[in-house]
Amino acid sequence: MSEHQVEQEDVEQEEAEPRPSAEERRAWQAAARRLVRQFPDPVLKNPASDVAEVDDEVRRLIDRMTDVMSTAHGVGLAAPQIGVSRRVLIYRGSEEEGVRVLVNPALVERSEETEVDTEGCLSLLGGDLSVPIERHVRVRVAGLDGEGQPLEIEAEGLEARIIQHEVDHLDGVLITDRAPTEERRTALRELRLRAG
């Protein structure tokens, strides 16, 4: 996903792991289209409501989101993407890491340094559409964990990008809203042609 030069160890590890086949990728995209709300669903464009209390209902929501993200092979998911307008997001920075939960997340600090990289979204053709997006390289986010305890995360690189992407969902913002003008036009044209 990243345009940055990958360290040699990462390249060797990546070469040792089999890449998903085109058939597997199509199956994941089909699962995302079936389980995740797709553009132009209005829930994706409306800001989500704060969670008053992390109770059993919110924990069930987190479990459901985790199942959907896993089935669709995503790296992050926000509650509005499954039709629930609550400020809850989950993500996993890598296969080795467990799923992280952020309830009522707020970006409290952003680096001045930014970088452009391509991003896809499970809500845009099941992840089959990607556009270049400029994001802050490092962020600090505060919120609650899945048990309702205060939490603060300092993230950089891919983790920071995922968090910013999912917080955007909670604010009713899609990657097409952040894309440069020409890429935005092209992406919206593609969505209209293929979303039907």
**Displacement of CA 155 from its chain's centroid (Å):** 14
| Interacting residues of 2 by C-beta distance below 8 A, sequence separation 6+ | 117, 157, 158
CATH code of the domain containing 66: 3.90.45.10
**Backbone angles phi and psi of 68, in degrees to 5:** -65, -45
Q: Which of 24, 166, 182, 183 is catalytic?
A: 166
Residue 113 inside a domain? The answer is yes
Say if residue 40 is preceded by a cis peptide, omega within 30 of 0. Answer: yes
Residue 3 inside a domain? The answer is no
Q: What pLDDT sits at residue 196?
A: 59
> How many structural domains are present in the chain?
1
Are the beta carbons of 146 and 173 closer than 8 angstroms? no
Q: Is 24 marked active-site?
A: no
Residue 178 inside a domain? The answer is yes
What is the arithmetic mean of pLDDT over 169-177? 98
Are the beta carbons of 111 and 164 closer than 8 angstroms? no
Q: Convert the pLDDT of each residue in 71-122 to its tens digit.
A: 998 999 999 999 999 999 999 977 788 999 999 999 999 999 999 999 999 9
For residue 89, which of 132, 27, 151, 17 has the smallest C-alpha distance?
151
Residue 99 inside a domain? The answer is yes
Full domain range(s) for residue 168 = 8-195
